[in-house]
């Protein structure tokens, strides 16, 4: 990443902004001496921001999409329901748009269930307590490293009925025409609190657009007679074998 950022500095042209790295460099160069230094970005900050965008943004989205495609192949009847909804709402004359999300409740429910059932981000990134505190009777000293076990929340029988089953319908209202927001908000995949993932919205948008575009054009299926092992391999994100 340092080499990429350095190359951007060397070839930077303020009249031709190529990407987010150029935009950050341009932002820094526009700041005049004497301005509030708290709103300025150092070279190290730019490297860290770009690293976060590439590391957290691309891997999580591609892993999410990979799980969506796998579940679509494992549950062909569910895949057909998504495609029927796409055909009825969008058709084949144009590509899906973000503005279509509210009109595709079953597709949205499918994505939510993929997030919940796979729990592809089993733990949040580490946070640290800034002072001594007490939570639910537990004393937590300052500078304690804290993780949220998102997998446990998404598979808790006290929260979910039959959590081991893959059922997109659990996120629909009684008529199946809208997302049940109360149920949808129970899914924990982007962290909790004020320090949750700042890329949550764009991540959801990307998964929606990529998945709907693929399923509008293609039918996903397993090779005849092939056994698929979806046992997750643990890491920052969980990927199937």
For the beta carbon of residue 56, count every other beta carbon within 10 angstroms: 18
Residue 129 maps to a domain? no
Residue 123 maps to a domain? no
Question: Quick one: which H or E segment has residue 6?
Answer: helix 2-10
CATH of the domain at 198: 1.10.630.10
Residue 170 sits in the same domain as residue 230 = yes
What domain range includes position 7?
1-41
Residue 64 sits in the same domain as residue 37 = no
Binding-site residue ranges for heme:
197
Q: Spell out the per-residue pLDDT of the chain, length 241, in tens.
A: 678 778 888 898 888 999 878 887 887 777 644 555 555 666 677 767 777 666 666 778 899 999 999 999 999 999 999 999 999 999 999 999 999 999 999 999 999 999 999 999 999 888 899 999 999 999 999 999 998 999 999 999 999 999 999 999 999 999 999 999 999 999 999 888 887 877 788 889 999 999 999 999 999 999 988 888 888 887 778 888 8
Whole-number Å distance between alpha carbons of 197 and 191? 6
Binding-site residue ranges:
197
Q: What is the pTM of this model?
A: 0.81
- Shortest CA distance to 200 belongs to which of 51, 48, 98, 56? 56
pLDDT tens sequence across 144-168: 999 899 999 999 999 999 999 999 9
Whole-number Å distance between alpha carbons of 17 and 217? 33
Q: How many residues does the chain have?
A: 241
Domain total of the chain? 2
95: DSSP letter: -
For the packed helices 105-118 and 76-89, what is the interaxial angle rounded to 10 degrees? 150
pLDDT tens sequence across 88-102: 999 999 999 999 999
Residue 37 sits in the same domain as residue 59 = no
């Amino acid at each position: 990443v340092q080499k990429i950022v350095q190359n951007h500095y060397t070839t930077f042209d303020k009249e031709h902004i190529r990407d987010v790295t150029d935009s950050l460099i341009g932002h820094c160069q526009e700041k005049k001496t004497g301005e509030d230094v708290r709103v300025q970005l150092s070279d190290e900050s730019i490297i860290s921001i770009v690293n976060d965008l590439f590391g957290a943004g691309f891997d999580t989205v591609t892993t999410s999409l990979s799980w969506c495609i796998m579940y679509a192949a494992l549950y062909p009847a569910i895949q057909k329901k998504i495609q029927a909804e796409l055909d009825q709402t969008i058709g084949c004359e144009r590509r899906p748009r973000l503005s279509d999300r509210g009109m595709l409740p079953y597709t949205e429910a499918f994505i939510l269930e993929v997030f919940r059932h796979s729990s592809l981000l089993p733990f949040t990134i580490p946070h640290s307590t800034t002072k001594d505190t007490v939570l639910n009777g537990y004393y937590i000293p300052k500078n304690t490293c804290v993780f949220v076990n998102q997998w446990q929340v998404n598979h808790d029988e006290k929260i979910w009925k039959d959590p081991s089953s893959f059922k997109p319908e659990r996120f629909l209202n009684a008529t199946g025409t809208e997302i049940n927001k109360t149920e949808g908000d129970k899914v924990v995949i982007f962290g909790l609190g004020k320090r949750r993932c700042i890329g949550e919205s764009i991540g959801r948008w990307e998964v929606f657009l990529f998945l709907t575009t693929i399923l509008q054009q293609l039918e996903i299926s397993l090779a005849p007679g092939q056994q698929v092992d979806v046992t997750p391999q643990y890491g920052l994100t969980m990927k199937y074998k």
